[in-house]
Amino acid sequence: MARTRERTRPDISGKPGYITAQGYRRLEEEADHLWNVKRPRVSQAVADAAAEGDRSENAEYIYRKKQLAEIDRRLRFLGKRLDVLKVVSEKPPADGRVYFGCYVLLEDEDGEEKRYRIVGPDEWDSDRGEISMHSPLGKALLGRREGDEILLRRPKGEVYLTIVEVAIDPDER
């Protein structure tokens, strides 16, 4: 299941969040899975546990009720977020600059290369190499060009990174 960023406080800025079409689809699929697969299973488990008798001392019933509440909370969150997210489906210009949705190949001081994709804060996933446009690295990359060197300040120290390649599509190389 795709990991998404859960906000710790509500978004009161009134500004839409930006998201890629793939990220939006993943959030829709998560909501669909929760509603059509997971919630019915947990609801049935709650009913089965309730049928066993005294609910106050029934650990299975208490656990399943908490699980159902978590699913409902996530569904409410996803419903609200999906309503305000702005899908960016337009491809950025292929002028060698880093834009939202681009794939960026970076080389560090040791010659190691890593590829990242700049995405919205609701869809980042480090396992897939997706970083938020609001992260320190995302902010440092946006607007830069191939060949630019950036200084990234991290808790474990500063590092210089070189933008080796900027691609619009993942297969573009």
- In this structure, how many other beta carbons lie within 10 angstroms of the beta carbon of residue 130? 20
pTM flag (> 0.75)? yes
Strand pairing partners for 153?
158
Domains in the chain: ranges and CATH: 18-88 (1.10.287.180), 103-167 (3.10.50.30)
List, for residues 69-121, the tens digit of each pLDDT value.
999 999 999 999 898 899 998 888 888 899 999 999 999 998 999 999 999 99
- Give the whole-angstrom CA distance, residue 103 versus residue 100: 9
Q: Which two structure tokens, joined as six digits, stand for 102?
A: 């681009």
- In this structure, how many other beta carbons lie within 10 angstroms of the beta carbon of residue 170? 10
Cα angle: 159, vertex 161, 163; to 5 degrees: 170
